[in-house]
Structure 1
């Protein structure tokens, strides 16, 4: 078993060093991956280091331990939290219990006591993981799976449109907890069983049909405290083993659900040693139209070949916002769309070969060949329209000029059509990849501009930026760090401090005035962050420049 990861948070450096020095971490199953001197600092390190456990003091400047615990619970619901306090205050204890804090202990903490607590947490983590890997337990859960009628209704619901009365009647009949929400979203879940690591093969990996059951069990346990939902097996889609419908109401939000699902993906990988990808579709305000959300969730799942597997993929992050969804019922049309959108090149060549092969095998009138070729070409034209690509991508290097009508007449020859279709499909695939890259870069530039225009707002948050960009926080955080080399918090801090330096050099404003102008409500915290970056306080910095 790998060592569990832990972060220590305390405003006294000597306390942190003492705890790190005195505990035999490996003996109790842990490794210290980082430490922080306040809650603000801790949040940034938690985002980067992804610990299993956070051990934090309760009284700290800028952000206390209970506020830190609250923020951790919102974004990382599976993380264990240990709070230690020098104050025997019942109100603190009540708040800690409400936040589901794992341990609440009083200072001073001796080595023996902390060691015992860490052993208990290790045993608890071990037990949780073993339970979720237990094959016999999974078999029992499989036998107790949803009744056939209930599951069939849910499959029908995500497969085609239903009228509202039928939906409400079935929800009540089958006791499905989805009625009365503001809106609903669908999810499509894929366990990447083929990517099982060779370093550690679990008994569960030998019985692969049980893996989706384990994934569903972990999803249900982690979603239950936060929302109403229904999960069910979905063998009708090649890319998904599990489908789900989540109700969004006043107690949760779509953004928070995406964060929770992202955290669940990380926990599943930790427990089962298998990457799991969750595609998240567009929301719908009518449950009878949830099939549209589920189709977009499957589309989002398909993008894992491009953006990577093992996390959530929100359809708004990878496809243009407010564009109509194309609906194709013919199998070859659907396969061509999927191949061109997601690649790779080998897949495109294979699908095109299949389309041409069916033409070669067919013994039909010439008019049917022409209809087939027009339908195939129309798929590519509609993709170009959906992604607002240049029409020239249809012609490539085929030597057919750029007149679409001339091109159509020329490619009505089967041999020329075969060459054109492959070149056009590969060209559109490359153009779409480029467009996605450009869109992401443009979004990151918009994010930086938005930060520059709003850094003075002390409440400026990653969620606020994401609402402007129509992105989920998890996807934004990954792309922003890739684009800038910094976390959002780190980048915002640099912007604010660089502006503070300008004001210190060019104005006679008091420190507290400059702090407010660059987005810090507390002068003391501003001075702390400034000194951490530049090595001196704002006052001394100004004095050294005079």
Structure 2
């Protein structure tokens, strides 16, 4: 069993040692990972050790227990805090409760009372652990929900609501195999039938197609979809589409004999992979709508009904969002791949020139909007004298147009990457300048700095540590110690004056921090000149 971690803070060594010896930590499910003699030391240890429970006195030098609680509430909100106090004072208790303190114990502390408190905290921590770590229960619920999740996946896939780059990952998550290749989508509708029989009827049709479908080299998936049965069929090649329609005709006649159901099937054009199911299923629905006009035939293929059909392509909202996200946050390879995939759609659809131009302009417009939203001049991205007016006829080939689009998208990606990097660097540099200007002020803290920068303390702390490899507290302490050492070497000022000059109101605490930093007291450092 993994023990919960406890940090103890009290300025009286006798009390710390007594608590350490008299509490049976292991029996209660805890381990004492650290102890501190003041609030500042406790805060530093808490940042390193991330304790589950903090036991702290209220009255301590350098930083009292209530201030420690306030800091811990911000940086370790999940930790349980127990406060000791020698004062039976309502105001102390009220402030402690306001800082999310779990328990308030009056001194003198006795082992049985503290053990009871720890037992209660362990129950609370156990409950939290169960809620967060009961993976077996979550796995069981997931497995029970898997059939429903698969149906939702198929529905979202056919509706075009899954980004292409996420399809295979999500399919694998639900244990579904959808290999790339030639596919088509068909929709099966039943003619007539009462509403009471609809669900049972759909399930019987689904089972029927799963049992009786037989076309050499083809893979069939059946899905309940919008009160129809969607057939997802992988073909060996596009020319097999007419062999498929013949097999579906056979199954419709067989269903009428065995099930007494008159079925219609609409078949979409073959497509390249699951990412294009959305287009094929729309065509299948359009084909099925022709049944009202047809005198005979139960299987309707859109390629027969609209042989001169020229597909109309448009950038869907998901396409725009995916491209925008890639340019802002993705890799160069991802950006190039997305732009090229959109141009490939134009090639495969064999659009007319006006339709190709409209689709081309949709891509250009999406890049222009992204540039404008980030304050970037259009000429910087698209080249000198660019006004937004560009035509597909300005290019000698689709390959040339594709390369221009890729180059523009990558230029925008590069500029946005620099903006993000520059912004983080500038913020940290501003912080360093502020600290260098105000380090001598005793009340300098992260809240003051963040108010100046207009940032949240949590975001700033993460950003600052990532860029400097130091916490705010450690950085300020290091800077103050550098100045203290210089003053000790270059001046004859007394230690308490040097402490005041670098932001310490308590000379004793300054000496404590200095010795901890350099391994020598200020006086010995001065005598040895820091050697």
TM-score (norm. length: structure 1): 0.57
Q: Distance in 2 between matches of 1:108 and 1:95?
A: 21
Aligned equivalent of 2:445, options 461, 475, 482: 461
Residue 443 of structure 1: aligned partner: 427
Q: Distance in 1 between matches of 2:353 and 2:127?
A: 67
Q: Distance in 2 between matches of 1:90 and 1:111?
A: 24
Q: State whether structure 2 residue 330 is matched by structure 1 residue 343.
A: yes
Q: Distance in 2 between matches of 1:114 and 1:450?
A: 44
Q: State whether structure 2 residue 187 is matched by structure 1 residue 203.
A: no
SS state at 1:207 partner: helix
Aligned equivalent of 1:503, options 477, 483, 487: 487
Residue 417 of structure 2: aligned partner: 433
Deviations 1:444-468 (A, max 9, x none): 2221122111112222221222233
Q: Distance in 2 between matches of 1:364 and 1:42?
A: 70
CA distance 1:420–1:457, shift in 2 (3 Å)? same
Residue 282 of structure 1: aligned partner: none
Matches within 5 A, 1:20-419: 20=20, 23-87=23-87, 91-130=91-130, 132=131, 201-207=135-141, 330-344=317-331, 347-349=334-336, 351-362=338-349, 364-387=351-374, 394=381, 410-411=394-395, 413-419=397-403
Shift of 1:209: 11
Higher relative contact order (CA 8 A, sep 6+): 1
Shift of 1:525: 2.4
CA contact (8 A) 1:204 1:210 kept: no
CA contact (8 A) 1:373 1:412 kept: no
Shift of 1:20: 3.9
Deviations 1:123-172 (A, max 9, x none): 12223454x56xxxxxxxxxxxxxxxxxxxxxxxxxxxxxxxxxxxxxxx
CA distance 1:40–1:352, shift in 2 (3 Å)? same
TM-score (norm. length: structure 2): 0.58
Residue 7 of structure 2: aligned partner: 7
Gapped regions of structure 2 (runs ≥ 5): 146-160, 164-314
Q: State whether structure 2 residue 483 is matched by structure 1 residue 483.
A: no
Shift of 1:361: 4.4
Q: Distance in 1 between matches of 2:395 and 2:19?
A: 74
Q: Distance in 2 between matches of 1:40 and 1:116?
A: 28
Q: Distance in 2 between matches of 1:210 and 1:386?
A: 45
Which has the larger displacement, 375-384 or 488-497? 375-384
Q: Distance in 2 between matches of 1:486 and 1:543?
A: 30
CA distance 1:434–1:97, shift in 2 (3 Å)? closer
SS state at 2:101 partner: coil
SS state at 1:6 partner: strand
Residue 516 of structure 2: aligned partner: 532
Q: Distance in 2 between matches of 1:104 and 1:355?
A: 64
CA distance 1:27–1:238, shift in 2 (3 Å)? farther
SS state at 1:458 partner: coil
SS state at 1:368 partner: helix
Shift of 1:431: 4.4
Q: Distance in 1 between matches of 2:409 and 2:14?
A: 62
Shift of 1:487: 0.8
Aligned equivalent of 2:497, options 483, 507, 513: 513
Q: Distance in 1 between matches of 2:406 and 2:429?
A: 35
Shift of 1:492: 0.5
Q: Distance in 2 between matches of 1:21 and 1:393?
A: 69
Residue 301 of structure 1: aligned partner: none
Tell me the matched-pair count.
363
Q: Distance in 1 between matches of 2:411 and 2:35?
A: 49
Residue 493 of structure 1: aligned partner: 477
Q: Distance in 2 between matches of 1:10 and 1:500?
A: 28
Shift of 1:73: 3.4
Gapped regions of structure 1 (runs ≥ 5): 134-196, 212-236, 240-327, 396-400
